[in-house]
Structure 1
Amino acid sequence: MASWNSVELEVLFYVLGWISFCSWAICFYPQLILNFRRKSVQGLNFDFVVLNLTKHTSYLIYNASLFFSSTVQRQYRQKYGFNQMIPVAVNDVAFSVHAVLMTALTLFQIAIYDRGNQKFSKIAITIVSVAWLSAGACVFVALPTHSWYWLVSCFNTLQIVMTTIKYMPQAVFNFQRKSTSGFSMGYVSFDFLGSATSFCQMMVQSIDQRSWVNFYGNIGKTLLSLVSIFFDILFMVQHFVLYPSKKKTDVSPSDDACGLRRNQTYRAVSSQACRLILVIS
């Protein structure tokens, strides 16, 4: 069984892992809080949420299986070498559990808060249905041969596909509206930090082991980080460069009426004051 060659790199590995976990854990809360305060989910693309739930559920199955199952671990080492470290850490499992719960809570908010005229697209529903039917078919294929690592790799592949496409509906939605209103940039910021530190964590392990196996041995985690970083940068460009928030300069009808009354009163008082000055003079 592989072990760490450097204590310093081992410590750095776990520090980066927990920074990644905390960032990815926190990233869900800005959107949840924003929805709660507005009692509305308008501006949040529903397809993004349902695809995200499928992604995190499949990723949880992969992480938990590879971390806890000795059988899956043995089959992994048979494929990549018995001197290789398992590419899933405890923070990966903790993140997946938390992500499934928070995404499910966001889906619950969609059910109870004001949605406007937004709804789930038929395309997203079809994608999710096909994804889980395919996963079910993989289970039946793996049963006769007990190919458990192959099976959890199928779930890893599923989460890779979901990661690749889940951000697209929100990016397109922002483009169509020419606005990022209703979509929390707090989510984007913490997601970016979590993705960057997760990728750095994998690099630290590779440097210590003098092997890049963990990058393609856990291709799901690798692509999760890289794809997330790409779309987070895209969302930042949309928010800060393409569609920056405009200060509210428009005056509402009620405010305008109040302002008109104040101006009329001011002019009346000023007129009376001028007359008084003329009389005194």
Structure 2
Amino acid sequence: MASWNSIPLEVTYQVLGWLAFVSWSISFYPQVILNFRRKSVVGLNFDFVVLNLTKHTSYLIYNASLYFSSAIHKQYFKKYGKGQMIPVAINDVAFSAHAVLLTAITLFQIAIYERGTQTLSKISVGIVSVVWLTAAVCFFIALPDHHWLWLISVLNAIQVSMTVIKYIPQVFMNFLRKSTDGFSIGNILLDFSGGVTNYAQMVVQSIDQDSWVNFYGNIGKVLLSLVSIFFDIIFIVQHYVLYRDKKALKTLTSPEQDEENGEPIVRSSNQTLPENV
């Protein structure tokens, strides 16, 4: 296994990795806090959360397996050469585990808080079902000859696919509502920061090793950063440019009334809504 050639670059790599971990990990909290304060998840797309849980679960399995498994290490070095470094750091494993936990908490909030007329789409349920069925089939294919590197590569491909797909429902919902009320922009700003530092971390490793193998040896991490940055920019434009100071349309609000004061639980489009975290 290769070692670092430059101590300053190694330190930079570790700092960037933990900055990415902190940014991405904290990015889950603004939405959780916003949901808690409003006691409502209106404006948060449920498909986004369910697809996100699938994405982070598959990414956790990939990261933990590639980081901890000696058998997978041997298969990786056999494929890419013994002079290469394992392209997964401990901060990647820590982030994935934390992401699964916080996404599960957000899903729990969806179950207990005011949802208005929003529901989970059948398309999302179908996608998640197909994904895990595919993963199960691939496991039994890999089992006889212990093709574990191939199996986790499949899971890595799944997380990349989910990264691309998961943002689309929220982008479309914001477009239909002409508003980002209920969707935390704090989440997006931190996610953007995490994507940039995560990509920079891989660049530093490549510079030190004078090799770009870690990019295609862990293409999922590369695409995770780039796709996240791309969609984060879209959300930032929606929030600060296209739908700035615009309130949500009534089509996604609940018709239920608060029994005590007679006011709608979710305010209509001409009323002031809580600001995003």
Query: TM-score under structure 1 normalisation?
Result: 0.87
Larger Rg: 1
TM-score under structure 2 length normalisation: 0.89
- Please name the residue that 1:234 is paired with: 234
- 1:43-102 CA distances to partner (integer Å, 9 max, x unpaired)? 000000000000000000000000000000110111111100000000000000000000
Per the alignment, residue 244 of structure 1 pairs with 244
What is the match of residue 158 of structure 2? 158
Contact 2:179/2:246, CA 8 A, preserved across alignment = no
Any conservation in 1 of the 2:3–2:85 contact (CA below 8 Å)?
A: yes
Instruction: For 1:164 and 1:138, locate their aligned partners in 2 and report how far apart those are by CA, in whole Å.
Output: 21
3-state SS of 1:146 partner: coil
> 1: CA distance between counterparts of 2:48 and 2:74?
35
1:223 aligns with 223
Q: Residue type matched to 1:138 in 2? A: C
Where does the alignment leave 5 or more consecutive residues of structure 2 unmatched?
Answer: 248-262, 264-277
Moved over 6 A (4+): none
Instruction: Tell me how far apart the structure 2 counterparts of residues 84 and 160 of structure 1 sit (CA, whole Å).
Output: 23
> Could you say what secondary structure the match of 2:5 adopts?
coil
Structure 1 residues not aligned, in runs of 5+: 248-253, 255-281
Aligned residue in 2 for 1:79: 79
1:174 to 2:174 alignment: yes
Aligned to 1:204: 204
Residue 32, structure 1, aligned to residue 32, structure 2: yes
Alignment check: 8 A CA contact 2:40 2:113 kept = yes
Corresponding position: 1:15 with 2:19? no
Q: Where does 1:1-281 land on structure 2 (aligned, <5 Å)?
A: 1-246=1-246
Aligned residue for 1:266? Answer: none
Query: What whole-Å deviation, never above 9, does each CA across 1:7-34 have from its counterpart, x for those lacking one?
Result: 0000000000000000000000000000
Deviation at residue 245 of structure 1 after TM alignment = 1.6
Q: What RMSD, in angstroms, separates the aligned Cα atoms of the two structures?
A: 1.0
Sequence identity of aligned pairs in percent? 70
Q: Which amino acid aligns with 1:128?
A: V
Secondary structure of the residue aligned to 1:84 is coil
Q: Specify the code of the residue in structure 2 equivalent to 1:81.
A: G
Distance 1:167 1:100 in 2: 17
Rounded Cα–Cα distance in structure 1 between residues aligned with 2:214 and 2:187: 27
- Hey, what does 2:254 align to over in structure 1? none
CA shift for structure 1 position 246:
4.3
Give the secondary structure class of the aligned counterpart of 1:180: coil
Q: Residue 9 of structure 2 contacts residue 204 of structure 2 at CA under 8 Å; is this kept in 1?
A: yes
